Structure 1
Amino acid sequence: MNTPLSTTASRPFAIVTGASSGIGLELARCAAQRGYDLLIAADEAQVHERAQELRAHGTEVHAVEADLATTEGVEKLFAAAEGRAVDALLANAGHGLGKGFLDQDFGAARHVLDTNITGTLLLLQKVGRQMRERRSGRILITGSIAGYMPGTYQAVYNGSKAFLDSFAYALREELKDSGVSVTCLMPGPTDTKFFERADLLDTKVGTMKKDEAAMVARQGFEAMLAGKPGVVTGLKNKLQVAAATVTPGTALARQHAKQAAPGTAQVHQANKAKALAGAVGGIALLSAWWLLRGPASRRGHVTV
């Protein structure tokens, strides 16, 4: 059972959304390790178990199970802070949706927008106003490198992240003289439940190797503490973003389709199998050639 949050605690206080797993949970761990008391939220009952785990760091942790796609869910979370000053807001809640837009259920597509954008903005406005009044606070918004690319077969999700990436930098500029900093965390594909929940496990991007959530969260948390405007995690993702800024949108959309179209997982696995077979065949031919040369022809060979 949760105990009431202290309004006079000496430790800093952070709110983390989407904290039942993945990047959100790792962000909460980063905050707990830094001595923050926590209010964590997710739309899963599992969030209460996570709160218990986080208390092992010696901080006060309160959990709220709420759907932050709804006004009621955001109000429930905000009320749970019980008026305590928020030192850091880590707005991470969000989810994706695979397949072509015309094949998606509109209710599911709208829930992506309401979670990623509408609910996030409502919470940001409520907490941000208090921070501005106190002239102190840090905000971390989880965007994505997906915001730099037309998301063929993930059009709604990528569009929502493009909004957040842009919004984070705009809000930062609005608050530049307020004592409140805004940082945008922009990861690439990360090893979380995202791809399973978004029905993307039959895609190339859903089955390829991904970044560790702990690494992504750590870089985002450190960037927030340093007051940086944004961070793209991982060298590969940085290169991808750099390329995206000079590549025509039509080409980016075509490239994204190769990653996210249904069935591309099978194509990806088949190509990997062909590449492996080719490598094995090449090694076999090289070995045969080496053996056929005979001992005399190998005389003088030095192994380093």
Structure 2
Amino acid sequence: MPDTPLRRTNLLAVVTGASSGIGYELARCCAQRGYDLVIAADEPQIEIAAAQLRDAGTEVTALLADLSTPDGVGQVCDALDGRRVDVLCANAGRGLGHAFLDQDFADIQRVVETNVTGTLHMLHRVGQMMRAQREGRILITGSIAGFVPGTCQAVYNATKAFLDSFSYALRHELKDSGVSVTCLMPGATETDFFERADLLDTRLGQQKKADPAEVARIGFDAMMRGEGEAVPGWQNKLRAAIAMVTPADVLAGQHRRMAEPQAPEDEPPAP
């Protein structure tokens, strides 16, 4: 009698930027669907996230890796140890507030290298694996910020515009390959992002934000259905639609009012 091939049971998901926020919740979504996990982030909290995920019975490999660098991306790929990857959630990202010329260029470079260069590197390496195996699902965390010129957040919004655009192009390049690409485009979400980006003293930082668990669930479900995009929440869908028909100059002015630092109440506003 010929050997019967064994059905795969240990599916594997890679989630970057998984120490907190949307990335952690995406990892939880994967764990709840029975995926083993390789998770990575550039902060020690990744070990706490891994312990919480293991408590639910999930096999987790956690990596403290700088995903803005080739070495960091290489750490993640080396940790795969030849296993096939079924899901990639490319979620690692950094924000940066304040006016472009007032920012430190090293911080600017870190945002670009994390959000764009490192993300592309990870997508390139894991995407090639998925194409070779003719199966896989990719979720890229973009943003509705990519539809708006980001005055006082110019570099961050531009990186998200890149990712939003790139995801659609990659999706169509991989058409009929067995690999799907989905872009998750959330609005403001209750994560550490605003603190790390020094945006707490802005209207953006102070406004009500979405639940990261709900945002992640919507993105994960869209990825599993093979859809091209996921924009969580009707308000974000409306904002995205308005941005498509509003002149860029108007959008830039509106964004400045939301993202520029607010003067303390006991100080007169700047002229």
Evaluate the alpha carbon distance shift between residue 129 and residue 111 of structure 1 in structure 2; reply closer, same or farther with a 3 A threshold. Answer: same
1:243 partner letter: I
Confirm or deny that 1:111 pairs with 2:110. Answer: yes
Task: Call closer, same or farther: CA 1:208–1:179 in 2, change over 3 Å.
Answer: same
For residues 85-104 of structure 1, what are the structure 2 equivalents within 5 Å? 85-104=84-103
- Cα distance between partner residues in 2 of 1:30 and 1:264: 40
**CA displacement at 1:48 relative to structure 2:** 1.1
Whether 2:240 is the aligned partner of 1:241: answer: yes
3-state DSSP class of the match of 1:245?
Answer: helix
Work out whether 1:24 is the aligned partner of 2:13.
no
Aligned to 1:41: 40
Look up the match of 2:143: 144
Describe the superposition over 1:101-149 as per-residue Cα deviations: whole angstroms up to 9, x where unpaired: 0000011001000000000000100000010001000000000000000
1:197-251 per-position Cα deviation (integer Å, ceiling 9, x unaligned)? 0000110000110000001000000000000000111111000000000000000
User: Matches of 1:231 and 1:45 in 2, distance apart?
Assistant: 30
Separation in 2, partners of 1:223, 1:188: 16
2:3 corresponding residue in structure 1: none
Partner Cα separation in structure 2 for residue 264 and residue 224 of structure 1? 42
> Is residue 2:11 matched to residue 1:12?
yes
Task: Give RMSD over aligned pairs.
Answer: 1.4
**In structure 2, distance between residues paired with 1:207 and 1:249:** 24
Match of 2:256 in 1: 257
Partner of 1:185: 184
Amino acid at match of 2:258: Q
In structure 2, C-alpha distance between the alignment counterparts of 1:123 and 1:55, rounded to whole Å: 24
Please give the residue correspondences for 1:154-169 in structure 2 after superposition, counting only pairs within 5 Å. Answer: 154-169=153-168
User: One-letter code of the match for 1:104?
Assistant: Q
Structure having the larger proportion of residues in helix:
1
Larger-Rg structure: 1
Cα deviation, residue 9, structure 1: 6.7
**Cα distance, 1:57 vs structure 2:** 2.2
C-alpha separation between the residues in 2 aligned to 1:90 and 1:246? 30
- Stretch moving more, 257-266 or 184-193: 257-266
Alpha-carbon separation, structure 2, partners of 1:52 and 1:221: 22
User: Which residue identity is paired with 1:46?
Assistant: Q
Q: Give me the whole-angstrom Cα distance separating, in 1, the residues matched to 2:212 and 2:74.
A: 28
1:78 aligns with 2:84: no
Q: Call closer, same or farther: CA 1:266–1:45 in 2, change over 3 Å.
A: same
Cα distance in 2 between the residues matched to 1:265 and 1:236 = 29
The question of 1:220 aligning with 2:219 is answered yes
- Measure, in 2, the Cα distance between the counterparts of 1:172 and 1:68: 23
Q: Is the 8 A contact 1:202 1:266 kept in 2?
A: no
Closer, same or farther: CA 204–240 of 1 in aligned 2, 3 Å: same
Report how many residues are paired: 260
TM (normalized to structure 2)? Answer: 0.94
- Where do 5+ consecutive residues of structure 2 fail to align? 1-6, 267-271
Provide the residue aligned with 1:274 in structure 2.
none
Which whole-Å CA distance do the structure 2 matches of 1:265 and 1:237 have between them? 29
Alignment partner of 1:188: what SS?
A: coil
Identity %: 61
Superposed displacement of residue 159, structure 1: 0.1
Q: Indicate the residue corresponding to 1:207 in structure 2.
A: 206
Does residue 1:50 correspond to 2:46, yes or no? no
Cα separation, 2, equivalents of 1:264 and 1:111: 28
Cα offset for 1:10?
A: 2.1
Q: Report how far residue 264 of structure 1 moved.
A: 6.5
Hey, what's the Cα distance between the residues in 2 that align with 1:266 and 1:227? 49
Q: Which residue of 2 aligns with 1:64?
A: 63
Matches within 5 A, 1:280-291: none
